[in-house]
Amino acid sequence: MQMAPQMGYDRAITVFSPDGRLFQVEYAREAVKRGTTSVGIKASDGVVLLVDKRIASRLLEPQSTEKIFQIDDHIGAVTSGLVADARALVDRARVDAQINRVVYNEPIGVEVLAKKICDHKQTFTQYGGVRPYGTALLIGGVDDEGPHLFETDPSGALLMIKATGIGSGRNAVMEVLEEKYDENANIEKTIDLGLEALYKATEGKLTVSTVEIAVVDAKDYKFRKIEPKKVEIYVKSILERLSQ
Amino acid sequence: MQMAPQMGYDRAITVFSPDGRLFQVEYAREAVKRGTTSVGIKASDGVVLLVDKRIASRLLEPQSTEKIFQIDDHIGAVTSGLVADARALVDRARVDAQINRVVYNEPIGVEVLAKKICDHKQTFTQYGGVRPYGTALLIGGVDDEGPHLFETDPSGALLMIKATGIGSGRNAVMEVLEEKYDENANIEKTIDLGLEALYKATEGKLTVSTVEIAVVDAKDYKFRKIEPKKVEIYVKSILERLSQ
Amino acid sequence: MQMAPQMGYDRAITVFSPDGRLFQVEYAREAVKRGTTSVGIKASDGVVLLVDKRIASRLLEPQSTEKIFQIDDHIGAVTSGLVADARALVDRARVDAQINRVVYNEPIGVEVLAKKICDHKQTFTQYGGVRPYGTALLIGGVDDEGPHLFETDPSGALLMIKATGIGSGRNAVMEVLEEKYDENANIEKTIDLGLEALYKATEGKLTVSTVEIAVVDAKDYKFRKIEPKKVEIYVKSILERLSQ
Amino acid sequence: MQMAPQMGYDRAITVFSPDGRLFQVEYAREAVKRGTTSVGIKASDGVVLLVDKRIASRLLEPQSTEKIFQIDDHIGAVTSGLVADARALVDRARVDAQINRVVYNEPIGVEVLAKKICDHKQTFTQYGGVRPYGTALLIGGVDDEGPHLFETDPSGALLMIKATGIGSGRNAVMEVLEEKYDENANIEKTIDLGLEALYKATEGKLTVSTVEIAVVDAKDYKFRKIEPKKVEIYVKSILERLSQ
Amino acid sequence: MQMAPQMGYDRAITVFSPDGRLFQVEYAREAVKRGTTSVGIKASDGVVLLVDKRIASRLLEPQSTEKIFQIDDHIGAVTSGLVADARALVDRARVDAQINRVVYNEPIGVEVLAKKICDHKQTFTQYGGVRPYGTALLIGGVDDEGPHLFETDPSGALLMIKATGIGSGRNAVMEVLEEKYDENANIEKTIDLGLEALYKATEGKLTVSTVEIAVVDAKDYKFRKIEPKKVEIYVKSILERLSQ
Amino acid sequence: MQMAPQMGYDRAITVFSPDGRLFQVEYAREAVKRGTTSVGIKASDGVVLLVDKRIASRLLEPQSTEKIFQIDDHIGAVTSGLVADARALVDRARVDAQINRVVYNEPIGVEVLAKKICDHKQTFTQYGGVRPYGTALLIGGVDDEGPHLFETDPSGALLMIKATGIGSGRNAVMEVLEEKYDENANIEKTIDLGLEALYKATEGKLTVSTVEIAVVDAKDYKFRKIEPKKVEIYVKSILERLSQ
Amino acid sequence: MQMAPQMGYDRAITVFSPDGRLFQVEYAREAVKRGTTSVGIKASDGVVLLVDKRIASRLLEPQSTEKIFQIDDHIGAVTSGLVADARALVDRARVDAQINRVVYNEPIGVEVLAKKICDHKQTFTQYGGVRPYGTALLIGGVDDEGPHLFETDPSGALLMIKATGIGSGRNAVMEVLEEKYDENANIEKTIDLGLEALYKATEGKLTVSTVEIAVVDAKDYKFRKIEPKKVEIYVKSILERLSQ
């Protein structure tokens, strides 16, 4: 990146550059690009979230590097970027979801929740005295309007999307998804597709121990983590298929 | 843009340059100029809003890149510029409209709403600790005084206008409108004119899948999005006519 | 303007330069000098406000570029400079006028109102965290002490004056007024004088469609806009007389 | 003024320079030095305030450039420097005087009032987020302890004085007063002395139309402006005497 | 560290650098890296915290350089980095633990407590007007879900971990732990492992007088400091074993 | 003063320089060093305060340049430095003294009062958004513990002292006092000593009209200004004695 | 100290340098290093505080340069560094002690008090808008757990210590204490040791008139200043012993 001509515009938080860009937001996106690779894909019967956690010290408790979070019974999220920022956003989302249950006596809509998070993020790009969140989220869930997948970035922009990736391996993931995404595929097949995308993103270095998968099932509106044993079966099958 | 002589005046938010300009506001306008091309035109029997969304990944949910927003039953808006800023302004406008219904028991006047948005924007150009909104809006609606179209920019300036464009293709749009606008044309013909303007703005790269159209009809004071199928018919007819 | 020796003094809002000037206020005045030319003249039987709006796109609604605002039944104002700032000041003035009616059960004095606006403007030149208003106003009205005309600038200074101009054509306007102002002239003749000043300020490019005129009549204490048709007659007569 | 060695100390509001000076206060004094020349003189039977307003456009309402203000029945003030700052201080002084009447049921002492204004000014030199007032005041009045004259400057310093001048002609004024002041002279003779000082300060360019005179009479404790006709007589007599 | 190209990004608290890093947080981590070496290890029957205090003046009261703190009956913590920051965080943790007892009438969960501390730390990296905490903590405790060990750093990131080290000797500690950690070892053996790690970290300069050890026992959920005499026995045994 | 190496440390208010100095406080002391010379001396039977006001325009009211202030019946103070700051501190001291009378029904102790002023001054050296007071005070008074003399400077430091001087002539004053101070001298003789010190400080330019003297008498605990006539006698006697 | 490479990191209050240091805190420590030499030593039967005040003008009241302060009946403190900061901290400590008596009806624990002061100091190193305290304290006292001595520095760090020194002579003091400190020595002998340390710190320039000594006796939990006469005896005996 060539710095000299932008000197000054990228230091203050809430200031436009002469060509109408918000550098702090763009730099926060760099924090996301250096993060773990996460994938979200809508299946015909639910939503699938996958992540390659990369870190695999035997001293780490497996749940410690959790990158897929349950927000509510029917909503999950996977993050890339600053982990402390991610936890703060996830906590906020969980509270928003609980408040909705208390106030309206029903689960929060997936889009309503995604918008709330984005509004909060936008505020951190316009007011002084704070920095933008250095975290992108994929939010997947099922409500009465079916399965949904949303992508947010540090600017607070929101995309309703069928399949996408964030983090360091995003480009590789998008290539796979653009080519092979099938919206009629069921959850099983969609997990396979997601793992293939992660396989490409990691240049084949995908391992059984670093993959985490969660689904929200359209049948029962429930978020659930895939158990490590089952993850192992999925990953092995992919490795066999692709490393030939 | 030649930067050296203005150094310093364009960094602080609320400061005039020696020639009486507010650089932050002008830079925010650059964010608008880099945005999607939007068009608003008053017809004899309503108001038409059009936008060319440009993005056309098959992985995106069509409604995700929505650029035309319903504010109230009788008012819609189309935006160019930072999408997160746009959503924040649209949300604010929706709340203003609802408050008017609750407090005065009647729909908000289109101009009243447009002024409220602009007052809010102006504040963000005069007080410290915030940046201006990087978003322009075209606000179209029908009230007891007939159809109205308003254009606002990041400064909070407000124009009541018959036909206009914002975003990257603004110049091309304005050329078409200046030449061909007919205030006696009905909604049908006005949509044609708007698409012609978008066709010019995209240098003929207009496609069926990226165009979004909405109207507010003077007959029933109702905002409605044109269904994709009908949009397709309009666009095809324009493409046939102009690409000959 | 030679920048180097003042470097630094003109960036902070509330800081004096070594020779006792407030640069931000002077720069705000530049915003006024780049604005539309407005004229205010006291007649024997009222006050006249005129403006040449310069913009004449057929796509603009005529009322959109309104530069003469009614503040109260008996007071009007014309502005030059940043239009969003002007609207904010005019709104504030209208509220001040209404509060006076509610609290004291009588119309606000013209000078009282003008001072309130100026006090507000002065505050924005002395306290940090804000920029000065980039707008000058001519405030004309009639109260029990007769017709009044006031001029304010971004510093919050206030002049009670008989005839004056603001905006880009100020110098030309002042030349005409200094030479030809007659305080015994009635409204009709005063409008002629004002148009002659605008004619000079526009170097003869005065057109029927860009002129806006309002008067406050000393007979009934009422502000009224001159209807476009009548404006046309005035302007044509001037054009005939002067372009010979 | 040689800037280089002080660089930095004169930009921040509340900061001392290495030699113990407050540059912002000194720069505010420059604003006063560029202001109109005002004179205050104690007579044996009252206090006299005079000012040469310099501006003499026939388009200005005479009262518009008022530089001598009545604060209360028994107190007046004349100002030099930023006119909007002056109005703000005068308004504050009037409110202080009224509060005294309400709370203590008696007119405010002249010194009490002068101190209140100075305390307020001092605050604006010690706290951040504001600039000093760019205005000096001469405050003249009569209370039970006789006639008083006070001079304040932007630092908030206060002088109880017999005769003094502020503004651009201060040096010339002081020369005359140092030489010719007679504390036993009555108001009539004191006005003559004041006009002579203004004559010197304007290098003989004193004119009938730009001089403003007010007195507070020790007989009835009343502030009154000298009527224009009477001012004319005084000025003419001075012009005759001195321009020979 | 090469400074020139990042100049400016590392001064402001809440600002991203062009490559998406938060320099202030990274610099705060340097404060941790210069701190005393602390070790935390989960045993089969509890958690062990150890620290080598390095300082050994006979003038210091032994408890003065306390680096292992009891947070609640069932939770302890060991810190590296700025000692005053550590004390502030420990005090905060103790209050959080007490509040939990008062509000919910039960001991706080170890993870709940660790998250609360991390949320607090994250806030200090995103809002202006403060600096990040220059302290890392190892938090060990036992609750109904068994023994837990958490590691936090100045960013507010949180790791649930089996064995780890912080401070200047971290690398040496991690080498030992990666190689020799056995999650089935009991507290006794785990203390031996921890001391071996400290021995490596201090390059054999481990002394009886500078080591501090605490355990939280899974049998009774109690935090207790190992008495100096017993510490002496452990240390001597290690020194004998390793210095041969 | 050599500026280059300290650049930056002396601009911000509450910042230490690398060698542990607070430049703003030291610069404020420069303001004191440029002030009028004041002297305070404890006598066997009271305290004496003296000042050489230097200014001697016949246009100034004598009380205008008052530098010795009565704080309460039994306490006086003399100041050097910024006069507006001095007035603000003296006002604050008077209020503190009155509050003590109201709350405790007894006169405030001299040391209590001096400490209150110093605490207030210290605050202005540690918190941002303000500058230190540019004023030193000598506070003299008599209470049940006898006569007291205190010296404070802009840092808020406080000295209980027997004899001292502040302002531009401090060094000359101190020389005289160090040599000739006699704590058994009575008020009369002490005044003579003070005048001798002022004589030295003014290099013999002491004049009858610029000296101001006040005493607090240990017999009746009363502050009183020495009348001008009596001052004249003292000064003349000194001038005779010393100028031989 | 080599400044260039750290430029910028040492100006802002709450910012880390790239190597994890807080320069403002380190510079505040320099203020302490330039302060008077203070010594604190625990004896078998109490705590001893000593200071060499260095200043010895006969014009100073002896108690004026008091460096040893009584905090409560059972606690004293001695300070080095900025005297106004020290007084502010001592006042705060006294209030904390009194509050403890009122709220808990018992004297405050010495460690509790020391921690309160340090927490307060830490806050001034982490939040913006203030500077750190430029003062170190030795806090000595006796409570039910026996005699205690604490040392705090500008960072808010706290050491429980047996014997220590602060201020300009710290290094010399520590050398003596490290060599000769005997925790079984009684108060008498401990005073001798402290004076020997001060003798070294002043390079033998210790004088009777500048030494101040206080003890808190473990027998009656009482703080008392050693009377000047007794101090004289101690000092003379030391001078005789050491200057041979």
- With a CB cutoff of 8 Å and minimum separation 6, the contacts of E6 are E17, E23
Residues of chain E neighbouring A11 (CB-CB closer than 8 A): 8-9, 12, 15
Residue of chain G whose Cα is closest to the Cα of E26: G18
Show contacts of F179-188: CB within 8 Å, 24+ apart: F181/F41, F181/G58, F181/G59, F183/F42, F183/F44, F184/F44, F185/F43, F185/F44, F186/F43, F186/F44, F186/F45, F187/F43, F187/F45, F187/F46, F187/F48, F187/F215, F187/F217
Question: In this structure, are residues A33 and A170 in contact, taking their beta carbons and an 8 Å threshold?
Answer: yes
- Look at the alpha carbons of G219, G220, G223, G229 in this order and tell me if their dihedral is positive or negative: negative
pLDDT the model gives residue F13: 56
- At G106-145, the pLDDT tens digits run 999 999 999 999 999 999 998 877 899 999 999 999 999 9
Best residue in D13, D15, D130, D184 for a mutation probing chain F (most F CBs within 10 Å): D15
> How many Å from the N-terminal Cα to the C-terminal Cα in chain C?
39
pLDDT the model gives residue B1: 26
Q: Do D161 and F87 touch (CB under 8 A)?
A: no
Q: In C, what residues contact D, Cβ < 8 A?
A: 5, 8-9, 12, 14-22, 115, 118-119, 121-123, 125-129, 155-164, 174, 177-178, 181
- With a CB cutoff of 8 Å and minimum separation 6, the contacts of B54 are B36, B37, B202, B210
Best residue in B39, B116, B117, B126 for a mutation probing chain C (most C CBs within 10 Å): B126
pLDDT the model gives residue D208: 83
- For residue D93, what are its two tokens? 């002084």
Angle at C88 between CA C86 and CA C92, to 5 degrees: 115
**Is there an interface between B and F (3+ Cβ pairs < 8 A)?**
no
Band of pLDDT at residue D12, cut at 50, 70 and 90: low
- At E38-51, the pLDDT tens digits run 999 999 999 999 99
Could you give the CA distance from residue E12 to residue A8 in angstroms, rounded to a whole number?
13
Is the confidence at residue E8, as pLDDT, over 60? no
Residues of chain B neighbouring A14 (CB-CB closer than 8 A): 13, 129-131
Residues of chain B neighbouring A5 (CB-CB closer than 8 A): 3
Residue of chain A whose Cα is closest to the Cα of E159: A64
User: Considering just the CA atoms, what is the radius of gyration of chain D in Å?
Assistant: 18
Angle at A76 between CA A71 and CA A78, to 5 degrees: 110
Question: In this structure, are residues D195 and D202 in contact, taking their beta carbons and an 8 Å threshold?
Answer: no
Question: In this structure, are residues D89 and D81 in contact, taking their beta carbons and an 8 Å threshold?
Answer: no
Distances (CA, A) of E38 to E192, E214, F24: 14, 11, 42
Catalytic one of A36, A37, A135, A190: A36
pLDDT the model gives residue C39: 98
Q: Residue D142: which of D212, D39, D49, D36 has the closest Cα?
A: D49
Best residue in E131, E133, E168 for a mutation probing chain G (most G CBs within 10 Å): E131
A23 vs chain B: nearest CA distance in angstroms? 12
Band of pLDDT at residue G6, cut at 50, 70 and 90: very low
Using 50 as the pLDDT threshold, list the residues of chain B that sit under it: 1-11
Q: Which is more confidently placed, B54 or D229?
A: D229
Q: Do D132 and C12 touch (CB under 8 A)?
A: no
Q: Do B16 and C84 touch (CB under 8 A)?
A: no
For residue F40, list its beta bridge partners.
Answer: F49, F164
Q: Do D160 and F134 touch (CB under 8 A)?
A: no
Q: Interface pTM (ipTM) of the complex?
A: 0.86
Residue of chain A whose Cα is closest to the Cα of B86: A157
For G126, half-sphere exposure in the C-beta direction (CA atoms, 13 angstrom radius) is: 24
**Is there an interface between F and G (3+ Cβ pairs < 8 A)?**
yes
F209: which DSSP letter?
G
The secondary structure of E148-211 as a DSSP string is EEEEE-TT--EEEBSEEEESTTHHHHHHHHHHH--TT--HHHHHHHHHHHHHHHTTT---GGGE
Residue B105 burial (10 A CB sphere; 0-12, 13-18, 19+): exposed
DSSP 3-state of G41: strand
For residue D43, list its beta bridge partners.
Answer: D46
- The amino acid that residue A95 corresponds to is V
C31 vs chain B: nearest CA distance in angstroms? 4
Question: In this structure, are residues F32 and F183 in contact, taking their beta carbons and an 8 Å threshold?
Answer: no
Q: Do D16 and F32 touch (CB under 8 A)?
A: no
pLDDT the model gives residue B204: 87
Q: Do C31 and B20 touch (CB under 8 A)?
A: yes
Could you give the CA distance from residue D40 to residue D68 in angstroms, rounded to a whole number?
11
- The amino acid that residue D47 corresponds to is V
C177 vs chain D: nearest CA distance in angstroms? 8
Q: Do E20 and A31 touch (CB under 8 A)?
A: yes
Band of pLDDT at residue D93, cut at 50, 70 and 90: very high
Helix (H) or strand (E) segment spanning residue D115: helix D110-126
pLDDT the model gives residue A12: 52
Residues of chain G neighbouring F115 (CB-CB closer than 8 A): 87
Could you give the CA distance from residue G162 to residue E94 in angstroms, rounded to a whole number?
28
Is the confidence at residue E6, as pLDDT, over 60? no
Q: Do B9 and C13 touch (CB under 8 A)?
A: no
Q: Do D27 and C17 touch (CB under 8 A)?
A: yes
- At D163-215, the pLDDT tens digits run 999 999 999 999 999 999 999 999 999 999 999 999 999 998 888 888 999 99
Alpha helices in chain G (DSSP H): 23-33, 83-104, 110-126, 170-180, 187-201, 228-242
pLDDT the model gives residue D1: 26
SS (H, E, C) A213-239: EEEEECCCCEEEECCHHHHHHHHHHHH
Question: In this structure, are residues E179 and E35 in contact, taking their beta carbons and an 8 Å threshold?
Answer: no
Question: In this structure, are residues B76 and B226 in contact, taking their beta carbons and an 8 Å threshold?
Answer: no
Residues of chain F neighbouring G134 (CB-CB closer than 8 A): 16, 20, 22
- For residue G206, what are its two tokens? 């210790």
pLDDT the model gives residue B173: 97
Question: In this structure, are residues D212 and D64 in contact, taking their beta carbons and an 8 Å threshold?
Answer: no
Residue of chain B whose Cα is closest to the Cα of A117: B84
- At E62-87, the pLDDT tens digits run 777 788 999 999 999 999 999 999 99
Which residues of E belong to the active site?
36
- The amino acid that residue A215 corresponds to is V
G166-184 burial, b for 16+ CB within 10 Å, e for fewer?
A: bbbbbebbbebbeeebeee
Distances (CA, A) of G229 to B42, G226, G233: 100, 8, 7
Residue of chain B whose Cα is closest to the Cα of C3: B5
pLDDT the model gives residue B13: 56
Question: Which of A103-117, F57-71, F185-199 is least confident?
Answer: F57-71
Residues of chain D neighbouring C147 (CB-CB closer than 8 A): none
F83 vs chain G: nearest CA distance in angstroms? 23
B226: which DSSP letter?
P
Q: Do B31 and A16 touch (CB under 8 A)?
A: yes
Is the confidence at residue F1, as pLDDT, over 70? no
Mean predicted confidence (pLDDT) in G162-188: 96
Question: Which of C217-226, D87-96, F10-19, F222-231 is least confident?
Answer: F10-19
Catalytic one of D36, D125, D135, D190: D36
A66-90 burial, b for 16+ CB within 10 Å, e for fewer?
A: bbbbbbbbbbbbbbbbbbbbbbbbb
Residues of chain B neighbouring A15 (CB-CB closer than 8 A): 11, 13, 24, 131
Best residue in F7, F10, F121, F126 for a mutation probing chain G (most G CBs within 10 Å): F126
Q: Do F88 and D127 touch (CB under 8 A)?
A: no
Could you give the CA distance from residue C39 to residue C45 in angstroms, rounded to a whole number?
17
Q: Do F19 and G3 touch (CB under 8 A)?
A: no
Tell me the Ramachandran region of residue D170: left when phi exceeds 0, alpha when psi lies from -120 to 50, beta otherwise.
Answer: alpha
Using 50 as the pLDDT threshold, list the residues of chain A that sit under it: 1-8, 11
Q: Residue A49: which of A72, A70, A23 has the closest Cα?
A: A70
Look-up of token digits 């960072």: G155
Mean pLDDT of chain G: 90
Which residues of G belong to the active site?
36
- Of all residues in chain E, what percent carry a pLDDT higher than 90? 77
A43-65 burial, b for 16+ CB within 10 Å, e for fewer?
A: bebbbbbbbbbbeeeebbeeebb
Question: Which of A126-135, D53-62, F178-187, G213-222 is least confident?
Answer: D53-62
Q: Do D11 and C14 touch (CB under 8 A)?
A: no
Of C18, C126, C174, nearest to D131 by CB-CB distance is C126
Best residue in G1, G17, G26, G59 for a mutation probing chain F (most F CBs within 10 Å): G59
Look-up of token digits 């050693």: G226
- At C88-113, the pLDDT tens digits run 999 999 999 999 999 999 999 999 99
Could you give the CA distance from residue A9 to residue A20 in angstroms, rounded to a whole number?
10
Residues of chain A neighbouring E162 (CB-CB closer than 8 A): 58-61
